[in-house]
């Protein structure tokens, strides 16, 4: 089979060589979009990463496409309806980043709680004063976990080590997990109202888009904090800006924002093929405002990015491709 792997680093090229001989495989650093698709249009299997956009226009370039093996857990960048309609299987990597992402939650949380960025920057300038650097300890603070899947459970385990009481919301409560980990489930409104820190661990779906907006921020404790390592679309960013500006929220630690590719390359807005309304320009402006808040830390969708997790991603993806080629697809999330 002809395979095209997008958004790859050099070491990933070497890892993919295990498929060479059995398959004709090509790797590129470029993301998959309407500008790069044509060069790989004869591929039967494609493997995108998180910055590729597999909408119907892009997928339409691949008449012989059989499998989309995304190197991520989420697959909201893929038009799964198109895949269902055209018999294209979609597989993902379900288990690569439980600890990796959960640990990044606490990296963000501790950095905000202890004013770490400001402290480091001022000492680099030779300023060793402690003025305005007083932080707060996590022990005894109530952590509200929205979404208790693999990552959410690992977050709860770490939180217990800090001595944090945990309340959580999930559409499918697991009472056995609650007893084992020592937390309790509550309705979403109760979690928001009772937590000192809220952390998000839900997928991007139509139901979770804008899950936290003005109403939800209004329920939160004055001075509460938000951590988001899930998906940018889960938070209404203009509402978040308002909550921070009026002091409702004390701070935020964010690894994801809506319209992330546009922040990286804003010239995309002005491409000739950009349709009116294609981009949420209000969210884009709000993103820029967030980047300038002193009480907000933003990292570049980097929570997954450890050596161990990246190795698991590529190895699981190659396993998915080999299993599909043998007629035994695995980790299937759509299509087929």
- For position 86, which CATH number holds? 3.40.50.720
State the DSSP code for 20: B
Pair 268, 195 in one domain: yes
232-248 confidence digits (pLDDT tens): 999 999 999 999 999 99
Q: Which domain holds residue 203?
A: 98-298
Positions annotated as catalytic residues are 231, 260, 301
Pair 242, 276 in one domain: yes
DSSP 113-170: HTTHHHHHHHHHTT----TT------TTPPEEEE--SHHHHHHHHHHHHTT--EEEE-
Q: What is the dihedral of CA 277, 283, 289, 294, to 10 degrees?
A: -160
Pair 91, 107 in one domain: no
The total number of structural domains that make up the chain: 2
Pair 143, 267 in one domain: yes
Q: State the pLDDT confidence band at 284, using cuts at 50, 70 and 90.
A: low
Pair 142, 243 in one domain: yes
Pair 109, 199 in one domain: yes
176-204 confidence digits (pLDDT tens): 999 999 999 999 999 999 999 999 999 88
Pair 322, 229 in one domain: no
Pair 128, 275 in one domain: yes
- Percentage above 90 pLDDT, the chain: 74
Average of pLDDT values for 64-82?
93
Pair 137, 223 in one domain: yes
pTM of the model: 0.84
Pair 316, 209 in one domain: no
Average of pLDDT values for 44-67?
95
Pair 116, 176 in one domain: yes
Helix axes 98-113, 116-124, angle to 10 degrees: 70
Q: Is the pLDDT of residue 267 over 80?
A: no
State the DSSP code for 297: E
| Average pLDDT value over all residues in the chain | 90
In angstroms, the CA 110 to CA 195 distance is 16
Between 151 and 278, where is the model more confident? Answer: 151
Helices (H), 26-115: 56-59, 80-85, 98-113
Taking CA atoms, 27 is separated from 16, 58, 261, 273, 322, in Å, by 8, 18, 21, 26, 17
At residue 114, the pLDDT reads 94
């Amino acid at each position: 089979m002809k395979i095209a792997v997008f958004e790859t680093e050099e070491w990933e090229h070497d890892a993919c060589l295990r498929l060479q001989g059995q398959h004709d495989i090509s790797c590129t650093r470029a993301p998959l979009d309407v500008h790069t698709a044509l060069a790989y249009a004869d591929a039967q299997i494609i493997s995108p990463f998180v910055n590729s956009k597999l909408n119907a226009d892009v997928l339409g370039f691949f008449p012989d496409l059989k499998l989309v093996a995304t190197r991520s857990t989420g697959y909201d960048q893929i038009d799964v309806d198109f895949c269902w309609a055209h018999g294209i299987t979609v597989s993902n990597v379900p288990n690569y980043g439980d600890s990796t992402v959960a640990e990044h939650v606490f990296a963000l949380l501790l950095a905000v709680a202890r004013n770490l960025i400001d402290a480091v920057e001022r000492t680099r300038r030779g300023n060793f004063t402690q003025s305005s650097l007083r932080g707060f300890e996590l022990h005894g603070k109530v952590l509200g976990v929205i979404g208790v899947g693999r990552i959410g459970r690992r977050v709860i385990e770490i939180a217990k080590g800090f001595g944090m009481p945990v309340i959580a919301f999930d559409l499918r409560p697991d009472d056995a997990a609650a007893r084992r980990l020592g937390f309790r489930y509550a309705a979403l409104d109760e979690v928001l109202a009772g937590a000192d820190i809220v952390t998000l661990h839900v997928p991007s779906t139509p139901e979770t888009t804008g899950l936290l907006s003005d109403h939800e921020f209004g329920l939160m404790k004055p001075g509460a904090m938000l951590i988001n390592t899930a998906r940018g679309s889960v938070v209404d960013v203009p509402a978040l800006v308002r909550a921070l500006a009026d002091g409702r929220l004390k701070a935020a630690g964010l690894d994801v924002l809506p319209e992330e590719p546009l922040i990286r390359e804003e010239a995309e807005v002005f491409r000739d093929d950009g349709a009116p309304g294609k981009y949420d320009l209000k969210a884009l402006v709000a993103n820029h405002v967030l980047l300038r808040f002193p009480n907000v830390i933003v990292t570049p969708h980097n929570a997954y990015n450890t050596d161990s997790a990246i190795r698991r991603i590529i190895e699981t993806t190659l396993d998915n491709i080999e299993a599909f080629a043998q007629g035994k697809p695995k980790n299937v999330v759509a299509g087929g």
